[in-house]
Each structure stands twice: as structure tokens, then as C-alpha cells.
Amino acid sequence: MQIISITIFGLQVALLVSVIKEPITKVAVPAVALELICVLVLVILVIFEYQRMIRPPTYVSLYLVSTVTSGPVQIRTLFIRGYAPDQAAILTSSLVCRVLLLVFESWSKKPYLISTRDHSPEELAGIFSRTTFFWLNPILLRGNKKVLTIDDLYPLDHELHSNVLQHRISAAWEKRTLTVDWRQQR
């Protein structure tokens, strides 16, 4: 995934050079430069998030979905108008790389985890699986064939364990108590 994101960055640099040589509009250079900054942030996020998170990052996936859906319109216009075939070719290559990155970002990282604890499928699900509740299909199929027992259910998400929730509610309670005490003293 890091290689694909770096490739997208390289293609964006090539696009910026091409637009500087042959600008189509007055805002073409600033727009491509701004997109270059966005792609640089994307590269940094992909590199750091891949190593530190077990779930594919939602905001990276949302960015890729938005650029993948809007990119074909721009590419189509460049090809039909014949303004800059080099820019259209670079944008097409970038779009293909973005689609690949989106597909890879949507896959679960379960085979690559070193963690010893058991994760629920929801913790590892990508944006499309979480949006469509696709991660629930195995348990729904199992429940269709037999009555589910506790052993059939997925492990509880780490954030929903009672000790984690107890710590969070205690901290919120203490904060609320201190705020109420402070207001009563005034």
C-alpha cells in the first residue's frame, strides 16, 4: 500500500509539472498544487496508519472514494476536448492507482497482525464492510442454520470491555463532580 501511495504522489508531481508547462485555466496550477499537498498527507497517513492501526483508516478511504468518483469526469473532459493528452494520461494512471489503493485499504489486516488477542471482525473491517454490515454475514448464516450460543458470538470489541468502560465512566464522573463542586462554591 505504501508503494501505491508513493506512486500516486509521483504521478501528482508529474501532473503538476505538466500543468505548469501547459496550464489549461488560471486555477489549474493552484488546484494541482493543492491536490499534491493532499496526496502528500495521504502518503504520510498510509505509511503511519498501516503500522499503527488494526482497522483501515476511514478518512483515507473516504478521500479515496471521493477522488475515485470525481476523477473520471475530469479525465473524460480532458480526453474529449483534447486539451492536454499528457495530463489526461497521468490522471488516468493516478485514478487506477487510487482504485487499487482503495481496494487494498478496504481489506482486513487480520492475516498481518502479530497481536495475540482475538479481534472481532468489526474491529478489522474496512469502510465498505462496516457500512454494509458485511462483517455480520458469517454469524447471520450460522444463526440461520442453528440456535446461536455464546461460543458462536464474536469476541467483544476491546473498547466495550467492562474495565475500559468503568475507567471512562469514572473519569467522566470525577470531571462532572469537580465541575458541579466548583459551581456550587461560587
* Residue 30 confidence class, pLDDT cut points 50, 70, 90: very high
Is residue 177 over pLDDT 80?
A: no
Is residue 143 over pLDDT 70?
A: yes
Mean pLDDT of the chain: 84
What's the confidence (pLDDT) of residue 9?
A: 95
More confident residue, 88 or 135: 88
| For range 16-33, the mean pLDDT | 91
pTM of the model: 0.72
More confident residue, 174 or 181: 174
* Residue 10 confidence class, pLDDT cut points 50, 70, 90: very high
What's the confidence (pLDDT) of residue 106?
A: 79
Three-class secondary structure of residue 22 per DSSP: coil
CA distances from 89 to 1, 15, 29, 75, 79 (A): 22, 9, 17, 8, 9
**Whole-angstrom distance, CA of residue 60 vs CA of residue 13:** 20
What's the confidence (pLDDT) of residue 180?
A: 62
Is residue 163 over pLDDT 90?
A: no
Three-class secondary structure of residue 154 per DSSP: coil
Here the cell at position 74 is 475530469
Q: How many other C-beta atoms are found inside a 10 Å radius of the C-beta of residue 18? A: 19
CA distances from 30 to 9, 11, 13, 23, 92 (A): 16, 16, 13, 10, 20
Helix ranges, the chain (H): 2-21, 28-52, 58-81, 85-106, 121-124, 127-132, 137-145, 162-185
Here the cell at position 85 is 493528452
DSSP letters of 164-181?
HHHHHHHHHHHHHHHHHH
Chain centre to alpha carbon of residue 49: 9
- In a 10 Å sphere around its CB, with 0-12 CB exposed, 13-18 middle and 19+ buried, how is residue 94 labelled? buried
Is residue 32 over pLDDT 90?
A: yes
Is residue 115 over pLDDT 70?
A: no
Is residue 37 over pLDDT 80?
A: yes
Is residue 92 over pLDDT 90?
A: yes
| For range 152-171, the mean pLDDT | 83
